[in-house]
Amino acid sequence: MKINDLTLTLAGSGGDGVITTGDFITRAASSDGIYCLTQMSYGPQIRGGESSIRVRMSHKQAQSRGDFVDSLLVFSWKDYKRFTDEVELRPGALVLYEEADKESPADFLPADIELRLQAVPFKKIAQEDVGVPLTKNMVALGVLAEIHGFNQERLKQAIMDKYGKKRPEAAAKNIEAFDAGKAWAQEHGPKEERLQLEPNGGERLLVMNGDEALAYGALQAGVRYYAGYPITPATPILHWLQQELPRFGGTVIQAEDEISAITQCVGASWAGVKAMTASSGPGIALMMEAMGLAGMAEIPLTIVNVQRVGPSTGIPSKPEQADLLQALGMHGDVPHAIFAPADVEDCFQVAMEAVACSERYQMPVIILSDQFIGERFESLRGDRFLERVKQVERDLPELSPERKYQRYAFSESGVSPMAVPGLEGGQYITSGLEHDESGAPTSSSEYHQLMSDKRAAKLKGVAEDFDFARVYGNKDAEFGIICWGSLKGAVREAIMRAQDEGLKVAAYVPQLLYPVPQRSLSEFLKGKRKVMVLELSHGAQFYHYLKGYATDLPEEFLSHCRAGGHLFSIEEVLKLIRTHSVSELVA
């Protein structure tokens, strides 16, 4: 029986071209309706160090990177070494490796798992048959295509798309290498059905990483000003917008630092143009003062944090979920909201929700994405994007020469219509100082109380309007899991497996983190006797946050957390469910 779920890892040194190979596989499969979730991993070297790419391919949209690797291709065992703890081989997995490598595979592979090893003369074929040693990755592509039954037409198309126009000879040589690899596999490769991925025959999918999806969401939401400063893993947002916003009359400026980036955005938004900035932990830290200004002056603003491992510089290329306290922690009581996407597609939607929320409620809104969401590529259905486009415009005042415009007029919702430059009669003074209704500074404690009430009122509206959470599993389960962001994938798959095992369990993954989406949370908590919060934060930030701010929590409210870097696996979550699940499905 052919399979419909395959996880593949390629590893080599930077010059080996494994990233390109994995990218071709992803694009070809996606164009063929197969869902991929593709993740790159690099050594510390800037160039020429070790690199690896992992592609999970599946007929259904993949929820996670997959626990086990079914097929591993190694150009060099030494380079592979640093990835060993990221590659959990499935018993019986296929391992293809460079024949010429002097190292002994046994030194690098787990001893307790049966594997299907196969040496391949990648180098030799590239050198002798093709005459271009650099094409060994295309040889490998041919080998893999043949063994796993990938759509070869599409793969060749991907090669042509990349080299065809600009460098036709390179394209020809690559195709030649591909065919040589294929020929080798036809002769020597394992021809087992269980290694063959069945074609899906579905519609053409698109391929996007989370940062791009988020940037595209911002474009669709109407963001026309972006200022940012490069930082891993948020930089793709800057790159994408820098090339797309100008076409739509927008502005992108690479700022001199994050303070300039966010304050430029404050200025643009104050002037009436939707604005966004993005960074990661260290850069976000520098933006906190300006977020307070946006909160006080009630200026819409969207701030993206693609989280990486902290504290400080930490591990820039790995994910963590420990910037939640930072996102909460401005000086003073700052009205703001925090959203979190749970996968690539969700980045698109969350960008639109965040912009909408910031514009409707005139406040800073933080999006907490993370490295695993931001930098991984996923295959997605195009129609799901355009269906969801959402644009919200901020309230403008009706101005009349008779009445002095009151920028901060009290209102039940806490929102007061905001004049923007150019509107006649709307002139007012904005500041970070406490102020009266007109905007004029005051140091009256009474006004401070009233204005604090006004600003805080907005949080109620946000919690009502933006209470969106994903709930999985059995509504009536007594054991529930709460998680956020990139943990969703493993949790969701673990729940499906638990259900297969007859266990009752449910999971809650909110898109809105702050203010607490109490309505959907309370709904979820109904009947739960035990709830566990899963997160990638050594200090269990989300757990403590919920404990401090949420209501209706059950007596048994547990935390399961660890430092970031290494994601939870499906198996790990499943074990937790087995331990804690208090009720079973009635068969």
Partner 1 sequence: MAEKVLTAKDYRTDVQNIWCPGCGDFGVLNAIHQAVAELQIPPQDLAVISGIGCSSRLPGYVNAYGFNTIHGRALPIATGVSASRPDLRVLVAGGDGDAYAIGAGHFVHALRRNPNLTYIVMDNSVYGLTKGQGSPTTPVGDPTKSQPFGHSERPLNPLAWALALEVTFLAQAFSGQVKQLKDLIVKGMRHEGFALINVKSPCVTFRGNQEYNYYREHGWNIDKDGHDYHDREAAFRITQEKERVPFGLIWQDENAVSLGKQLELEREKYSKVRQYDNADEVLRTFFA
Ligand X SMILES: Cc1ncc(C[n+]2csc(CCOP(=O)(O)OP(=O)(O)O)c2C)c(N)n1
By the rule CB under 8 A, 256 interacts with its own copies: no
> Among 229, 270, 361, 372, which residue sits at the site for ligand X (rule: CB under 6 A)?
229
Told to check if 441 binds ligand X by CB under 6 A, we report no
271 part of the interface to its own copies, by CB under 8 A: no
Asked if residue 211 lies in contact with residue 374, where contact means CB atoms within 8 angstroms, the answer is: yes
| Least distance between its own copies and beta carbon 546 (Å) | 8
Nearest to 463 by CA among 420, 535, 417, 517: 517
Q: Would you count residue 253 as binding ligand X (CB under 6 A)?
A: no
Query: Which run of H or of E encompasses 531?
Result: strand 530-535
First vs last C-alpha separation in the chain: 28
Q: Which of these, 413, 359, 490, 455, lies nearest to 37 by C-alpha position?
A: 490
Contacts (CB under 6 A) with ligand SF4, residues 240-279:
none
Shortest distance (Å) from residue 47 CB to ligand SF4: 5
Window 31-70: residues binding ligand SF4 (CB under 6 A): 46-47
Q: In the bound complex, what is the minimum distance in angstroms from residue 45's beta carbon to ligand SF4? A: 8
> Which two tokens mark 404?
């002095």
Sheet holding 301-307, edge to edge: 251-254, 225-228, 275-279, 301-307, 364-370, 337-339, 512-514
Burial 142-157 (b: 16+ CB within 10 A, else e): bbbbbbbbbbbebbbb
> Is residue 73 part of the contact set for its own copies (CB under 8 A)?
no
- CB 43, min distance to ligand X, A: 17
Cα 528 to Cα 556: distance, rounded to the nearest angstrom = 9
87 binds its own copies (CB under 8 A): no
Structure tokens given for 342: 């749970």
Q: How far is the CB of 222 from partner 1 (least distance, A)?
A: 9
Q: Shortest distance, CB of residue 322 to ligand SF4, whole angstroms?
A: 28
Stretch that binds ligand X, among 81-89, 224-232, 318-326, 472-480 (CB under 6 A): 224-232
Question: For ligand SF4, which is the closer residue by CB, 46 or 386?
Answer: 46
Tell me the C-alpha to C-alpha distance, in Å, between residue 128 and each of 95, 132, 136, 142, 300.
Answer: 23, 8, 11, 16, 62
Out of 70, 146, 212, 320, the residue judged to bind its own copies by CB under 8 A: 320
Q: Binding its own copies by CB under 8 A: which of 15, 149, 461, 565?
A: 565
Tell me how far, at minimum, the Cβ of 123 lies from ligand X, in Å.
33
163 vs 557 by CB, closer to its own copies: 557
Q: What is the CA radius of gyration of the chain?
A: 26
Place of tokens 């962001």: 485
- CB 306 within 8 Å of CB 314: no
**Single-letter code of the amino acid located at 338:** I
Q: Is 421 exposed, middle or buried (0-12, 13-18, 19+ CB in 10 A)?
A: exposed
Query: What is the rounded CA–CA span in Å between residue 175 and residue 53?
Result: 21
Q: Is 231 in the site for ligand X (CB under 6 A)?
A: yes
Q: Is the Cβ of residue 42 or residue 468 nearer to its own copies in the bound state?
A: 42
Q: Provide the token pair at 548.
A: 């401090």
Pairing of strands 225-228, 116-120: unpaired
Rule CB under 8 A: say whether 78 interacts with its own copies: no
Q: Is the dihedral of CA 377, 146, 7, 116 positive or negative?
A: negative
Taking CB atoms, the residue at the shortest distance from ligand SF4 is: 46
Q: Which segments of 89-234 does DSSP mark as H helices, in order?
A: 122-124, 136-148, 152-159, 168-188, 210-221
How far is the C-alpha of 540 from the C-alpha of 170, rounded, in Å? Answer: 51
Six token digits for residue 125: 């074929």
Q: Are the beta carbons of 559 and 533 closer than 8 angstroms? A: yes
Q: Using CB under 8 A as the criterion, what x/- string covers residues 424-453 for binding its own copies?
A: -------xxxx------x-xxxx-xx--xx
Cβ proximity to partner 1: between 411 and 431 the closer is 431
According to DSSP, the residues that pair with 58 across neighbouring strands are: 5, 35
Phi, psi (deg, nearest 5) at residue 249: 75, 5
Nearest alpha-carbon partner for 287 in 227, 197, 205:
227
For residue 46, the partner it binds in ligand X, ligand SF4, its own copies, none, with Cβ less than 5 to 8 A by kind, is ligand SF4
Residues 42 to 61 in contact with its own copies, rule: CB under 8 A = 44
When the beta carbons of 224 and 455 are compared against partner 1, the nearer one is 224
Q: Output 79 or 98, the one with its CB closest to ligand SF4.
A: 79
In the list ligand SF4, partner 1, ligand X, none, the entry touching 204 (Cβ below 5 to 8 angstroms by class) is: partner 1
Integer Cα distance of 119 and 127 in angstroms: 17
Q: Which of 230, 246, 311, 332 binds ligand X (CB under 6 A)?
A: 230
Least distance in Å: CB of 280 to ligand X? Answer: 8
Smallest separation, CB 501 to partner 1 (Å): 35
> Does 230 engage in binding with its own copies (CB under 8 A)?
no
311 binds ligand X (CB under 6 A): no
| Of 17 and 473, CB closest to partner 1 | 17
Residue of 138, 149, 140 whose CA lies nearest to 119? 140
283 binds ligand X per the rule CB under 6 A: yes
In angstroms, give the least distance from the CB of 235 to ligand X. Answer: 8
Which positions touch its own copies (CB under 8 A)? Answer: 44, 85, 259, 281-282, 284-286, 288-289, 292-293, 295-297, 307, 309-315, 317-318, 320, 322-323, 325-334, 431-434, 441, 443-446, 448-449, 452-453, 456, 537-539, 541, 544-549, 562-566
Which positions touch ligand X (CB under 6 A)? Answer: 229-231, 258, 282-283, 286, 313
Which positions touch ligand SF4 (CB under 6 A)? Answer: 46-47
